[in-house]
Amino acid sequence: MRVVPTLAWSLADPAETLDARLVPLLSAIRAKSSLAAAVADRGLSYRAAWGLLRDYQHKMGAPLVELERGRGARLAPAGEKLLAGHRAATRRMARILSNLAVELGPPAEREVGAKTAKLTVAASHDLVLAALRDALPAAAGLTLALVRRVRALLVAATGVVALTFIGDR
């Protein structure tokens, strides 16, 4: 399982992490132009969303959303600014945060779906290559296929061989 860090916002004074539901709610309000549609989209109750917006309006000293009866909802300048800052920060941090990801779980789980490369070697005879093939662990992601003697010349002629060794002992 891959675990990726995410961007979180905090109030500077007093230090308090913003509720993780706030930015997605503001984004939904911007997209839907309705608090009722936004809460349905985000899976929040109307009461919880209203309380969240009220609490952050009080904490930030400015409304995040403008609600008008019969006209829906739209983001206030503070809400637009927070959402624009979040989009910009997310865009700039996306690559950095994904590079900080951590793989959890046993190695076998992490390697599910890993591709295996196949190396075909045509050789008239070479005990070292056979020993190498037998020593390659499956976890190396490489399969070594050996084609010997006369067949080696035929396979080499097809062009599907990576290496060709033909010679005397």
Residue ranges of domains in the chain: 2-103, 115-165
Q: From first to last of its 169 residues, what are the pLDDT tens digits of the chain? A: 888 888 889 988 888 999 999 999 999 999 999 999 999 999 999 999 999 999 999 999 999 999 888 889 999 999 999 999 999 999 998 888 888 888 887 765 445 555 556 666 656 556 666 666 666 665 566 666 665 554 544 554 555 544 444 444 4
Secondary structure letter of residue 111 according to DSSP: T
Count, residues in the chain: 169
Q: Could you tell me the CA-to-CA distances from 30 to 27, 91, 100, 121 in Å, in that order?
A: 5, 19, 31, 61
Cβ contacts of 51 within 8 Å, gap of 6 or more: none
pLDDT at residue 1, as a whole number? 84
Say if CB 124 and CB 26 are below 8 A apart: no
Are the beta carbons of 139 and 111 closer than 8 angstroms? yes
Q: Which residues pair with 10 in a beta bridge?
A: 17
Please give the structure tokens belonging to residue 77: 């300048």
Which tokens sit at 112?
């599910």
Tokens of 125: 């005879």
Specify the residue for token string 């979040």: 86
Backbone angles phi, psi at 143, to 5 degrees: -110, 130
Residue 111's contacts (CB-CB under 8 Å, 6 or more residues apart) are 139
- Sequence-distant (≥ 6) Cβ neighbours of residue 116 within 8 angstroms: 138, 141, 142, 143
Fold entry, domain 2-103: Arc Repressor Mutant, subunit A (1.10.10)
For the entire predicted model, the pTM comes to: 0.59
